[in-house]
Structure 1
Amino acid sequence: MRGSRRPAIFFGFRPWRDYVPRWFPDRDCKVVSSKPRDMLRGGWPLRLLLYRSPEVYVWGFKYPPFLKWFCRCLRIPFYHVEDGFVRSVSLGAQRSPPASLIIDSRTLHYDARSASDLENTLQTYDFAADRALMERADRCIRMLLDLRVSKYNLGKRVSLDALLGPKTKRRVLVIGQVETDASIAFGCDRTVTNNDLVRLAASENPNAQIIYKPHPEVLYGTRSGVSDPAEVADICEMLKEDIAPADALEGIDHVYTITSLMGFEALLRGISVTCYGLPFYAGWGVTDDRQRCERRGRRLSVREIFAASYLLRPRYLDLEAGEPTNLEAVTRRMIEIRSEGKRDTYPVSVEVGVGS
């Protein structure tokens, strides 16, 4: 019954408000605006005092700073929520709901300024003692590679040889990101653009073929870039179409990234990776790091990082059935949707209260 469930208030979830009850079926969910003016007009956060033992969930950093401070003062549990690492076929900007979430009580996994729950798991979990987990990690890594599944799964299937001609020298892939994205703002201690990264890769690999892959949302026009790729056209080959990550990584010898998850997908394929910023998988001894983190002193393998970030920390959901599931089932569903040429949108029949 609704009255027996713990109240949970969600800020910044407006695009996904119809899916919130599916993600949190054991909570009495209420989705409200995260804009400070709307919150104050609606009496938030003081209205939290009207609830018995409430919890607060925020999407990314879409909340006013005073909200977290208020919750800490009153000891109201506060959680950050973001997309998991196997998310959907279509882009989030195309309103495709995530099939996996990472829920963190400290900060987001891409916030390098302080330790997240994911970072603490990586720092402390006894992977060697959990044989079943590591065997499952091996199976899941092989499954993702064999099925060519990524975080998003809508890119064009085409080989780099077909686009660029036969490989005649080392290939270095530069992974572009949305330069205004929070993962760069909070995961990199210096200002950097995609063009800066291309120039760095070219200067450090003078005899290599430098390939620049812009972010899909920039190519699709759902997000705008900061730097002009034309300024580095003389030192790189730019992929002007959204190439599927598995195809873009085929035959690559080295990857340069700021904080992109695609850098970790390269590690899964045994490709060496240079990180200009500090994504969740950097600082553990598996990447060439250009930003130091004194907190991350443990040496981990790629499969151990995978086990924590893809198996231990995320929550997976069958959005059609509205039930919890696992990485294996979500991956199979991604393949079905992709093979049918559909976008992953789902009918919703649940009602959820929406506040001011």
Structure 2
Amino acid sequence: MPMLDAFLQAEVVPCWWWPRGALDATVGWGRSRHAWRARRVAADCDRPFLALEDGFLRSFHPGRQHPPLSLVLDDVGIHYDSTRPSALERLLASEEDLLGGGAAEDAARARALIREHGLSKYNHAPPMARVQAALGRPLLRPNDRRRVLVVDQTRGDLSIALGGASEHTFTELLVAALADNPHATVYVKTHPQVLAGRREGHYARLRDGERLVVLRQAIEPLSLLRHMDAVYVVSSTLGFEALLADRPVCCFGMPWYAGWGATQDRLRCPRRTRARSVDELFVAAYLRYARYLNPETHAPGTVFDAIDWLARQRRMAGFRPERRSD
């Protein structure tokens, strides 16, 4: 990964070159099977293991050709693993005033910019108006009394099993979304990796019906979310983006943002007993837990560096911010 040393603010060497007495820590990719060597070296040397994962504002496109602007580094666990604590969970569970010292103002500014420019983890998808213009028709049914979004994920996503869910949970979620909202049209959002043909989703065999529509187009999430009345997820980060759009979210798994009183939860995490607002969740995850790179100087940066760069890339791609009524 390019510029990893800038993210870590440390010299980075491959595992097979490690000098036994000179390591401060080892780094591996989250809870993936690829991190076993780094975990073993950390144990052998009695050094900390640091879990690395993509941040919440990663890049324009997914993939290795687009290095991340944001990473998280966790010396306790990793945020998508609800089976054990993480540094993010401990921060949220602490007595710390997360909105003090100017953090509330920074959060308000960052949230407003994210909504204005329609930013997400990946940012290559066009806004909904652009998708509709290309299709030559409305994407959503015009006579809906109510709209509910169900969010698919890729099969094998670690956040599913480590979030207390399974493949069967996606069936339960869809059944519940239809039953809980008898007068609504339920829209199922296909995962971007499934649209790209790289992964398999859980709703591949679904077909449109009287109350069911499968969205198989790449769409900027925030431009879609502002047309929804409620959102159902298992453990997708899009659920938190729905909270940023002020939409009610029902979680059938235990993602990092569940269990704090901001979501309707079907599961319970006994470690999460404190109530946190969406702003507090945002500060903890986007401003404190995530690290950023200034893409122009390649030095450690801020969330505003990432926002500015991604917004600029979207403008260069011809994606103009939509007028937002929310």
What TM-score results when the alignment is normalised by the length of structure 2?
0.87
Unpaired runs of 5+ residues, structure 2, are 319-326
Q: Secondary structure at the match of 1:229?
A: coil
Separation in structure 1 between the aligned mates of residue 99 and residue 293 of structure 2, nearest angstrom: 28
Give the residue type in structure 2 aligned to 1:318.
N
Note if 1:99 corresponds to 2:83. no
Pick one of 201, 204, 207 that aligns with 1:228: 204
Unpaired runs of 5+ residues, structure 1, are 1-15, 33-43, 343-356
Separation in structure 1 between the aligned mates of residue 176 and residue 65 of structure 2, nearest angstrom: 34
* Alignment partner, residue 282 of structure 1: 258
* Alignment partner, residue 30 of structure 1: 13
Q: Secondary structure at the match of 2:13?
A: strand
Pick one of 76, 82, 102 that aligns with 1:112: 82
* Alignment partner, residue 10 of structure 1: none
Are 1:195 and 1:231, in contact at CA under 8 Å, matched by a contact in 2? Answer: no
Map residues 64-75 of structure 1 onto 2, 5 A cutoff.
Answer: 65=36, 67-68=38-39, 71-72=42-43, 74-75=45-46
What is the CA-CA distance between 1:165 and the residue it aligns to?
3.3
* Alignment partner, residue 12 of structure 1: none
Pick one of 41, 44, 49 that aligns with 1:78: 49
Give the residue type in structure 2 aligned to 1:30.
V
Are 1:179 and 1:193, in contact at CA under 8 Å, matched by a contact in 2? Answer: no
What is the CA-CA distance between 1:162 and the residue it aligns to?
2.2
Note if 1:56 corresponds to 2:56. no
Give the residue type in structure 1 aligned to 2:20.
L
Q: Secondary structure at the match of 2:150?
A: strand
Q: 1:105 to 1:96 in 2, by over 3 A?
A: same
What is the CA-CA distance between 1:106 and the residue it aligns to?
1.3
* Alignment partner, residue 314 of structure 1: 290
Q: How large is the Cα RMSD of the aligned pairs? A: 2.3
What is the CA-CA distance between 1:200 and the residue it aligns to?
2.3
Q: 1:232 to 1:120 in 2, by over 3 A?
A: farther
**How many percent of aligned residue pairs carry the same amino acid?**
33
Task: Say how many residue pairs are matched.
Answer: 311
Separation in structure 2 between the aligned mates of residue 262 and residue 170 of structure 1, nearest angstrom: 20
* Alignment partner, residue 212 of structure 1: 188
* Alignment partner, residue 260 of structure 1: 236
Compare CA radii of gyration and give the structure with the larger one: 1
What TM-score results when the alignment is normalised by the length of structure 1?
0.80
Are 1:198 and 1:236, in contact at CA under 8 Å, matched by a contact in 2? Answer: no
* Alignment partner, residue 39 of structure 1: none
Give the residue type in structure 2 aligned to 1:68.
R
Are 2:28 and 2:38, in contact at CA under 8 Å, matched by a contact in 1? Answer: no
* Alignment partner, residue 9 of structure 1: none
Give the residue type in structure 2 aligned to 1:137.
A
Separation in structure 2 between the aligned mates of residue 231 and residue 129 of structure 1, nearest angstrom: 45
Separation in structure 2 between the aligned mates of residue 222 and residue 318 of structure 1, nearest angstrom: 29
Q: Secondary structure at the match of 2:105?
A: helix
* Alignment partner, residue 323 of structure 2: none
Q: Secondary structure at the match of 2:22?
A: coil
Separation in structure 1 between the aligned mates of residue 201 and residue 192 of structure 2, nearest angstrom: 11
